[in-house]
């Protein structure tokens, strides 16, 4: 109980410091002159690297859970850089907008890998979205 109280106070204190630095035109992380909206160049670089690593790890976890191959019948793509998330029931754009999802891989991990999603390669995923079906699906019928 005490640790939770201390963490809350520390969090509130950090928020006040960040707000004060932002108002002064300084980097909200380290307090030096900023080069973008909220961060100095070093903090921005560190933040970008952190999120890139976080997203890569989330994708790795999702591929381990949902499978590391395109689920489209007839497609054999297994290269992780080419794989994406498919909303099996459609409505991916609507789902992302309603839930304000920036990165789908992170969302899947944070929501404990819900059902209704599969791994498809970008080509098959886009073909399904644009044309209603992937050419691979038509070939196997």
What integer best gives the mean pLDDT of the chain?
86
Q: Whole domain around residue 58: which residue ranges?
A: 52-140
- Do 6 and 59 reside in the same domain of the chain? no
Q: How many domains does the chain have?
A: 2
Average pLDDT in the 103-120 region? 93
Question: Among 6-15, 17-26, 81-90, which stretch is predicted with the lowest mean pLDDT?
Answer: 6-15
Residues constituting the chain:
141
43-70 tens-digit pLDDT: 889 999 999 999 999 999 999 999 999 9
Per-residue pLDDT for 134 more than 90? no
Domain membership of residue 46 (yes or no) is no
d(C-alpha 101, C-alpha 124), whole Å: 22
Distance set, CA 118 to CA 72, 102, 107 (Å): 9, 18, 14
- Do 70 and 111 reside in the same domain of the chain? yes
Average pLDDT in the 114-123 region? 93
% of the chain residues with pLDDT over 70: 91
Domain membership of residue 120 (yes or no) is yes
C-alpha angle 85-88-89 in degrees, rounded to nearest 5: 130
Residues 83, 120 contacting (CB under 8 angstroms): yes
Domain membership of residue 109 (yes or no) is yes
Which of the four pLDDT bands, split at 50, 70 and 90, describes residue 23? confident
With a CB cutoff of 8 Å and minimum separation 6, the contacts of 114 are 108
């Amino acid at each position: 109980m005490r640790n939770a109280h201390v963490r809350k106070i520390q969090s509130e204190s950090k928020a006040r410091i960040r707000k004060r630095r932002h108002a002064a035109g300084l980097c909200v992380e380290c307090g030096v002159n900023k080069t973008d909206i909220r961060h100095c160049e070093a903090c921005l670089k560190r933040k970008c690297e952190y999120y890139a690593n976080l997203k890569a790890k989330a994708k790795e976890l999702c591929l381990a859970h949902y499978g590391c191959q395109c689920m489209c019948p007839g497609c054999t793509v297994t290269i992780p850089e080419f794989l994406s998330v498919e909303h099996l029931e459609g409505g991916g754009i609507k789902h992302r907008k309603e839930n304000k999802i920036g990165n789908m891989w992170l969302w899947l991990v944070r929501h404990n890998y819900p059902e209704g999603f599969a791994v498809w390669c970008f080509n098959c995923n886009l073909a399904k979205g644009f044309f209603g079906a992937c050419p691979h699906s038509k070939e196997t019928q």
